[in-house]
């Protein structure tokens, strides 16, 4: 079953094929209104279930619009609608859903929920986000970088801040697409060391650099994310702010980076915290191209999952 669960579970050649499809579909749409269908309708007649245990803006809209553009019918379900694992097991829910729909996207908390869903589903399952990873975001990020700078292979990405789920997917992407990573953040928030070791074992460079200016000195891409995750308590928020304040992506930090370095943020951004207005809205930011490319990358992922 061609589930899209994590980048390290998907063959390199398939990831490349997905990006090729995404670029072609984006080019084919041109400037037509968003509600008009694609010329080809690879998901015509199919039903796509979109499950959100965690709230979302970009993931929900991009999957919903993308599926409709390809001819599918969508069904959006919240955590309250599903009550996954509360009463009925996740496995039983997966078996039932598989009788009704052709494809499942789930945005949830623990990765174990995603994996149990995939284990028991008889239709493809897509990871829309877990606490551990965000692979759809990384497909959009690689697509965006390559639109602006060409092949990402051999590039260096500097991650600033919290070693969260997006940072961990960047480490997986680095191994799959052949680029180097520098993590710069407080030791308490380092990413999973096993992912750093795996990247080194693949022959790529994986560094931890506590000095933010040194971390970006040779960067082709600088990436950050919100300092506070959904549901964090107020005491945790303040502690994180104190730890992460030195890693803000601001004009001074960009001054230490090569002039060609791009800036990404997966959004939503807390302006004035992890990134300043001047950087987010500045000429080196590709943040809104990155957000748009969620649509195109995820359309290609859905096509790959159903073999269309």
Q: Which residues are tagged catalytic?
A: 107, 134, 137, 225, 266, 294
Per-residue burial over 239-248, b if 16 or more Cβ lie within 10 Å, else e, is ebeebbeebb
Dihedral sign, Cα of residue 86, residue 106, residue 47, residue 100:
negative
CA angle at 267 for the pair 160 and 197, rounded to the nearest 5°: 40
Distance CA 45, CA 174 (A): 36
């Amino acid at each position: 079953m061609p589930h899209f669960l994590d980048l390290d579970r998907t063959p390199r050649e398939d990831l490349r094929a997905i990006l090729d499809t995404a670029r072609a579909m984006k080019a084919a749409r041109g400037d037509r209104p968003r509600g008009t269908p694609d010329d080809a309708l690879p998901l015509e007649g199919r039903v796509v279930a979109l499950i959100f245990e965690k709230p979302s803006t970009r993931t929900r809209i991009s999957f919903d619009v993308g599926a409709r553009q390809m001819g599918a019918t969508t069904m959006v379900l919240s955590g309250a609608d599903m009550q996954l694992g509360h009463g009925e097991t996740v496995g039983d829910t997966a078996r039932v859903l598989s009788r009704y729909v052709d494809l499942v996207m789930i945005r949830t908390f623990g990765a174990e929920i995603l994996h149990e869903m995939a284990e028991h589903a008889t239709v493809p399952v897509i990871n829309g986000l877990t606490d551990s990873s965000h692979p759809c975001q990384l497909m959009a990020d690689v697509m965006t970088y390559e639109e602006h700078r060409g092949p990402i292979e051999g590039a260096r990405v500097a991650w600033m801040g919290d070693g969260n789920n997006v940072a961990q997917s960047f480490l997986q992407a680095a191994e799959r697409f052949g680029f180097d990573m520098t993590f710069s953040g407080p030791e308490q928030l380092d990413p999973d060391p096993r992912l750093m070791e795996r990247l080194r074992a693949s022959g790529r460079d994986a560094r931890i650099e506590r000095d933010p200016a040194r971390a970006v000195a040779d960067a082709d891409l600088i990436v950050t994310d919100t300092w506070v995750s959904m549901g964090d308590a107020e005491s945790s928020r303040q502690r994180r702010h104190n730890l992460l304040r030195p890693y803000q992506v601001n004009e001074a930090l960009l001054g230490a980076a090569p002039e060609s370095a791009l800036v990404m943020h997966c959004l939503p951004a807390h302006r004035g915290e992890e990134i300043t207005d001047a950087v987010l809205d500045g000429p080196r930011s590709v943040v809104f191209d990155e957000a748009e490319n969620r649509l195109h990358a995820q359309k290609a992922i859905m096509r790959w999952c159903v073999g269309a």
